[in-house]
Amino acid sequence: DIQMTQSPSTLSASVGDRVTISCRASQSISDWLAWYQQKPGKAPKLLIYKASSLESGVPSRFSGSGSGTEFTLTISCLQPDDFATYYCQQYNSYIFTFGPGTKVDMK
């Protein structure tokens, strides 16, 4: 199975900061990668699919990039509603796998 890793595991930031989260796949997944946001007690919400395609209704401050094995989620100007945990997930394989998550908390 394809293994996914994320860094950092926790990120402390302030409102207005530019935030970058990294995700790495154990083998090439082309651009078959999604990013999800999850808040405590809630279901994950799709932000980005196909590595860089913004899901409908998601604010444009979220962007994704990368291909192959290295990917990045960027929040251009962190808002109060963005404090959450973010997961990457590959769907290149029929067996889906998630990264361990990156928690973005308040500095």
Q: Specify whether the CB–CB gap between 67 and 18 falls below 8 A.
A: no
Q: List the interface residues with another protein, window 40-99 (CB under 8 A).
A: 42-46, 49-50, 55, 87, 89, 91-92, 94-99
Kindly give, in sequence order, each residue whose CB lies less than 8 Å from that of residue 57, ignoring residues fewer than 6 positions away: none
CB of 34 to another protein, least distance (A): 5
Nearer to another protein, 20 or 97 (CB): 97
Residues that bind another protein (CB under 8 A): 1, 30, 32, 34, 36, 38, 42-46, 49-50, 55, 87, 89, 91-92, 94-101
